[in-house]
Structure 1
Amino acid sequence: MRKLAGLMAAALLAALVPASAARAAEPKNLQVMSWNMCGSQNPSWGCATHGGPQDKINVVKYHVETNFVQAALLQEVCENDLTALMSQLGSGWSKAFQPYQYSSDGVRRNNTCGGTRTDRIGTAIVIKAGLADARAYEIEQSWTGQARPFHCATATYWGARLCNVHLSPKGNNPDHPDWDYADDQMTDIAAIVAGYPTLVMGGDFNVSPPDKPGNARAWVWRDGPYNAGYRECDQEGDVRDGRPTIGDPVTGTKIDYIFSTETKRWCAVGDSAYSDHNVVIYSVAVA
């Protein structure tokens, strides 16, 4: 009888312990890479001197194997090269692809890789351990000029929404080269991602950080992710700047970013001979 009473008392005590006192789940580390691969074979894209498809594939594989990258946000990737990358990464990896399109008075056509190749070129989200709900979203684009997609997919193992960004540079519309679309694009993106509790968003923003001295386009960040409370990979304290990701390592500028809602573990920026952009890797602890 005493044993039964003791068990009942223990059960009652356990019932009185608040749920918040239960041991919290260990966070899951997630390494996300963003890289503009400069994969076009079209001479006007300026990628001819940056190696071939396998060179670029090897860069992604290197960071997967060496820096434990589990997701990649890729820009300017040719579709056939993406297929080759997936076959070399092996089982357990999934992809979502969206093409670049050129708009002529609102009529869009897909961009191709160029040269002798007719496969499309675009942006991709590559994820290990499950990809779900891949979706492209319409954001502001110039009526005439290059249209760059914005899309997201869920990394199911982490329960995190990953989004790939490639904003328009100033002068994107040849009919109105003084018009800037990046501010409206950031406003649209902010509305889309606002509902995602766990977010990693990165890519080629085609604009310098708001706190970079002399940045005449700093105003386009008004509704950008810095002001929405997201932490950027290379951000130190409250200074919204970071290491160059394009051009000279000292005098160049940062235009590639990764933002997240999650706790920062580390950030890496690495150059490559196989693109005019550096690789950015953000390691976060997903609660």
Structure 2
Amino acid sequence: MVGLPAMVGQVLLLVAGLLAAPSAQQSPAKPFSVMTWNVCTGTNSDCRFYRASALELAENIGRYALSEPVKPDVIFLQEFCTGATGTLELWLERRTGRSWSVGSWGLTGADGKPYACHPDRLGRPRGAQSIAVAVAGDAATFEIRPLPAPPWYVGRAVICATIPARKVHACGTHLSSGAAYDDRQPGAPYRTRQIARLLEIAAKPGHRTIVGGDLNVAPPDSGYGSAAGRRAVAPAYRAYQECDQRGARRTGGWTRAGRKLDYLFAPKGTVRRCHVQRRVTLSDHKPVYIEVAL
């Protein structure tokens, strides 16, 4: 005959097992993927995408979004053209069978006028050079926030997409180049301020942040690029994990001309895969893909 204390113990073990069962059966975190690519189509005649039509842009961006090992739920684009936004959205919807929404922002010059993309090869206007964020499937809201920028050149901004169904805040940008006509002062003052402001904007309570784009600085431990630029991006590494980060070293594989300029940051411990497609020759930058578990 089982004594009362033993019976009580068995009951408690049974109850504990029942309470633990649901947590053991919880579904694993779903993957979420982002791609970033500076497509170099607006004004740089050295790039093959220069003066590409809206359809040519959409087809090639879409192809690299669909054919790689990482299939993005969100796409960040830089040096895109506002005139191709609708074509890209329609192409993605028709080829993927998913709804897509695309938010874009056209750069403005020092005079406040749109910083125009050069016409396509048939002479048709393509709108302003732009940054864009494309979101697949889930409903998203877009917000455009200005970043500090040299008053003598183009403005800079970040586009953030809030995706409530995934509790994701995805922010893409293109920072000052550091060339003589852009953030030209010693110490990279504008890129330093741009990254600081970018991190403030990207953080959203109750959401997981994925932030990146063409930041135009070298990784802190890379040993190349300006020391000021490397210092400027260090706070992003303190707050997040970069897609191609090599262990504790804050560096990664090259994305343009042997140097890393393109980044994707995600919450620490969530990065599952990073991919850089270096076979691309249409742009001077290579697309970067991140897969995270959220």
| Paired letter, 2:48 | T
Q: Give 1:118 shift.
A: 5.0
* Cα distance between partner residues in 2 of 1:82 and 1:137: 19
Alignment-derived partner of residue 137 in structure 1: 145
Match of 1:112 in 2: 116
Q: How does 1:21-170 map to 2 (within 5 A)?
A: 21=23, 23-40=25-42, 42=43, 45-50=44-49, 52-53=52-53, 54-67=55-68, 68-90=71-93, 91-104=98-111, 108-115=112-119, 116=123, 117=125, 119-170=127-178
Q: Does 1:219 align with 2:231?
A: yes
Give the share of equivalent positions with the same residue, in percent. 26
Give the TM-score normalised by structure 2: 0.80
Letter in 2 for 1:260: A
- Structure 1 residue identity aligned to 2:99: G
Structure that is richer in helix per residue: 2
| Alpha-carbon distance between aligned partners in 2 of 1:83 and 1:274, rounded to the nearest angstrom | 21
Residues 107 and 115 in structure 2, CA contact (< 8 A), matched pair in contact too: yes
Q: 1:254 aligns with which of 257, 260, 280?
A: 260
Equivalent position of 1:183 in the other structure: 192
Report what 1:240 is aligned to. Answer: 250
Shift of 1:149: 1.6
**Residue 210 (structure 1) aligns with:** 220
Provide closer, same or farther for how the CA distance between residues 86 and 55 of structure 1 changes in structure 2, counting only shifts above 3 A: same
| 1:253 Cα deviation from its structure 2 partner | 0.2
Structure 2 distance, partners of 1:270, 1:95, is 23
Question: Residue 183 of structure 1: CA displacement?
Answer: 0.5
Following TM superposition, by how much is the alpha carbon of 1:175 offset from its aligned partner in structure 2, in angstroms? Answer: 9.8
CA distance in 2, matches of 1:48, 1:208: 22
**Equivalences for 1:185-204 in 2 at 5 Å?**
185-196=194-205, 197-204=207-214
Q: Distance in 1 between matches of 2:210 and 2:83?
A: 26
Asked if the contact 1:143–1:173 (Cα under 8 Å) also holds between the matched residues in 2, the reply is no
Give CA-to-partner distance per residue, 1:13-34, whole Å, 9 cap, x none.
Answer: 48x9489947434311112100
**For the Cα contact (< 8 Å) 1:61–1:89, is it kept in 2?**
yes
User: Shift of the alpha carbon at 1:210?
Assistant: 1.0
Q: 1:76 to 1:263 in 2, by over 3 A?
A: same
Distance 1:175 1:225, change over 3 A: closer
Distance 1:118 1:200 in 2: 29
Partner of 1:267: 274
Structure 1 residues 19 and 120: CA distance shift in structure 2, 3 A? farther
**Could you tell me how far 1:195 is from its partner in structure 2?**
3.1
Q: Tell me how far apart the structure 2 counterparts of residues 84 and 266 of structure 1 sit (CA, whole Å).
A: 29
Aligned amino acid, residue 59 of structure 1: N
Where structure 2 has 5 or more consecutive residues not aligned to the other structure, the ranges are: 1-10
- Greater shift after overlay, 54-63 or 150-159? 54-63
Partners of 2:159 and 2:60 lie apart in 1 by 23
8 Å Cα contact 1:154/1:162 also seen in 2? yes
- CA distance, structure 2, for counterparts of residue 204 and residue 175 of structure 1: 14
Moved more, 61-70 or 268-277: 61-70
Aligned length: 265
Q: What is the DSSP-based 3-state SS (H/G/I as helix, E as strand, rest coil) of the residue aligned with 1:138?
A: strand
Post-superposition Cα deviations, 1:28-75, rounded to whole Å, max 9, x if no partner, equal 1112100011121x3xx3355336344432332223322322210011
Q: Secondary structure at the match of 1:283?
A: strand
Q: What is the root-mean-square deviation in Å for CA atoms of aligned residues?
A: 2.8
Partner letter of residue 157 of structure 2? P
**Aligned 8 A contact 2:82 2:126 in 1:** no
- The correspondence for 1:276, drawn from 250, 265, 284, is 284
User: Is the contact made by 1:100 and 1:121 (CA closer than 8 Å) also made in structure 2?
Assistant: yes
Unaligned regions of 5+ residues in structure 1, if any? 1-8
